């Protein structure tokens, strides 16, 4: 393996190393995969307005998320079934970064309560409630491959809970299994119910509109993750970076807004922060680097993104996260807005 110089290069290595069914499961999006491409492409249409002759000899990337200090605004998204990528799976990823807790809401409220207790006992600091999966999106690669969990793997979180097992199905075994477990009647009242059974802050993951952002604030969410589930649910929703500003404006600064989907460069991180995100989450790059090099790969991905983000800050004239402003970027929807000319 030659010198890896950017996050994207891990994808080709993962494709070589992993069985086709597993790689396709991680890589694919829903239906035409338009949103999958757009999650990346949309970043390339946002340009920089760098400021010059600023002393950038010291750059501070530290930030606070839900009261916890972290060294940079780059975090790891809740990504399922990492042991398909590497035998150490989530353990390796957790060692490479402090992981955020995640749950999926199951039909049996009692099961959710048990999972929440487990998360609390394990020392998790937050719960990411995935809200965009009342049904699983149509991922055609999984249907072609008749995706099912490799025999040596189990859904560990649900061990000891009576949920049945995933069988090979006529299409995607995962879709069939999930259909049997996920609660399609999940609604905002359940977000409130979750707060009655735990003191952990709840991040609502899967918000794409101002309307839902306002309801999330009212429902007591501690934060929002603007996410389209890695473009794996409803195709032709916008890229998350395109939906971000609408959501940020709707929250009016009352709760932090994060973004996942399509982040592959430090410049992407900068663009998300300039549009109002408090931080970003990465998903696929973690799984691909895990497949390629285990814990070392995940560490390297975080290092590369950190270095690139620091460089983007320096070259834009920003010494701390609070110095990153909306004026440091220009988007296609800015064209009609006259920019104020600063007085000298």
283 has binding-site annotation: yes
pLDDT for the residue 212: 98
172 has binding-site annotation: no
284 has binding-site annotation: yes
pLDDT for the residue 101: 38
The DSSP 8-state label assigned to residue 207 in this structure reads E
Which residues participate in catalysis according to the annotation? 229
Q: Per-block average pLDDT, block size 10, for the chain (344 residues)? A: 90 94 92 97 97 97 91 87 76 66 47 84 86 84 79 59 50 58 82 92 95 97 96 96 98 97 98 97 94 92 96 98 98 73 63
pLDDT for the residue 103: 38
- Distance CA(341)–CA(184), nearest Å, equals 51
Strand partners, 202: 127
The predicted model scores a pTM of 0.88
261 has binding-site annotation: yes
pLDDT for the residue 142: 82
Domains of the chain (ranges, CATH numbers): 7-107+118-144+188-332 (3.20.20.70)
- Distance CA(298)–CA(110), nearest Å, equals 34
pLDDT for the residue 234: 95
pLDDT for the residue 147: 79
pLDDT for the residue 106: 43
126 has binding-site annotation: no
pLDDT for the residue 173: 57
The DSSP 8-state label assigned to residue 266 in this structure reads H
CA-nearest of 111, 97, 220, 90 to 164 is: 111
240 has binding-site annotation: no
Residues with Cβ within 8 Å of residue 69, at least 6 apart in sequence:
62, 63
């Amino acid at each position: 393996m030659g010198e890896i110089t950017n996050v994207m290069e891990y994808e080709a290595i993962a494709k070589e190393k992993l069985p086709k069914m597993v790689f396709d499961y991680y890589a694919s999006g829903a239906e035409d995969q338009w949103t999958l491409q757009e999650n990346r492409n949309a970043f390339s249409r946002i340009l920089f307005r760098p400021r010059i002759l600023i002393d950038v000899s010291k750059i501070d990337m530290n930030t606070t998320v839900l009261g916890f200090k972290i060294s940079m605004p780059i975090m790891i998204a809740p990504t399922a079934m990492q042991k398909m990528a590497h035998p150490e799976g989530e353990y390796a990823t957790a060692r490479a970064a402090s992981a955020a807790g995640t749950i999926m809401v199951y039909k049996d409220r009692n099961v959710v309560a048990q999972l929440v207790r487990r998360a609390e006992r394990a020392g998790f600091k937050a719960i990411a409630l995935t809200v965009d999966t009342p049904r699983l999106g149509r991922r055609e690669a999984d249907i072609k491959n008749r995706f099912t969990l490799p025999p040596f793997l189990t859904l560990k979180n649900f061990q000891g809970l009576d949920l049945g097992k995933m069988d090979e199905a006529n299409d995607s075994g995962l879709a069939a299994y999930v259909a049997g477990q996920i609660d399609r009647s999940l609604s905002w009242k359940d977000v409130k119910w979750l707060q009655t059974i735990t003191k952990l802050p709840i991040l609502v993951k899967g918000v794409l509109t101002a309307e839902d952002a306002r309801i999330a604030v009212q429902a007591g969410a501690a934060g929002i993750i603007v996410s389209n589930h890695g473009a794996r649910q409803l195709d032709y929703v916008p890229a998350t970076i395109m939906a971000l500003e609408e959501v940020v404006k709707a929250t009016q600064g009352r709760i932090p807004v994060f973004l996942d989907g399509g982040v592959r460069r430090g410049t992407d991180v900068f663009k998300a922060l300039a549009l109002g995100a408090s931080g970003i989450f990465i998903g696929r790059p973690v799984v691909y680097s895990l497949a390629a090099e285990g814990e070392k790969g995940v560490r390297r991905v975080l290092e590369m993104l950190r270095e690139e983000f620091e460089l983007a800050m320096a070259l834009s004239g920003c010494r701390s996260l609070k110095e990153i402003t909306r004026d440091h970027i220009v988007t296609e929807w800015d064209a009609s807005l006259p920019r104020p000319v600063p007085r000298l």
